[in-house]
Amino acid sequence: MTEPKIHQTNETDNPIQKNDSHEASSSTKSPYQIEEVKTDKQMQDALSVRRTVFIKEQQVPEEIEIDSHDRIGSETIHFVVYKEEQAVGASRLRPYAPEVGKIERVAVLQSERGTGLGRLLMLAMEETARRQGFKRLKLNAQTHAQRFYEKLGYTPAGEVFEEAGIEHIAMEKAI
């Protein structure tokens, strides 16, 4: 099976299209469109995916899941993934420290897990992080997803801890 790749949009090999969307492709056209959130509808779509994954599936209280970073116009960059105009994935990237970004709230609907979408979303966020001048990325991975992040080059940076009743481990990567 061919690994999915970010669609190259110009001669500088930057996967960010001018409209701030990331189109995934492989030997056949990918069904996914990764977009940086710019509109209220996109934000609502991203939050809908997160509510399904974190609040409904994982029983995270809404007051923990939805926070002050969840608004357009903040320093946080939100991403939403569409498949045939339906939101199927979401995440966010925010400044954490000088030259350090933090990846948070990576969510993929159950129907799309195992398709390579999570990897594509992470690659799109990493490219955006580079454009923003970040040199390092941090994230708090749910322990069941630790191997997924390790395959993308993230390494554990501490001990397992509990957040919202779920075991997590801090991870980081130089980009």
Q: What is the CATH number of domain 5-174?
A: 3.40.630.30
Q: What integer pLDDT is reported at residue 25 of this predicted model?
A: 43
Q: What integer pLDDT is reported at residue 127 of this predicted model?
A: 98
Q: What integer pLDDT is reported at residue 74 of this predicted model?
A: 87
Q: What integer pLDDT is reported at residue 131 of this predicted model?
A: 96
Q: Up-side HSE of residue 157: CA atoms within 13 Å toward CB?
A: 15
Q: What integer pLDDT is reported at residue 21 of this predicted model?
A: 59
pLDDT at 163 over 70: yes
Cα 155 to chain centroid, rounded:
17
Average pLDDT over residues 41-62: 97
pLDDT at 17 over 70: no
Which residues 6+ apart lie within 8 Å of 130 measured at CB?
A: 175
Which tokens in the block code for residue 75?
């320093």
Q: What integer pLDDT is reported at residue 16 of this predicted model?
A: 33
**Beta carbons of 169 and 143 less than 8 angstroms apart:** yes
pLDDT at 75 over 60: yes
Cα–Cα distance, 52 to 28 (Å, whole number): 29
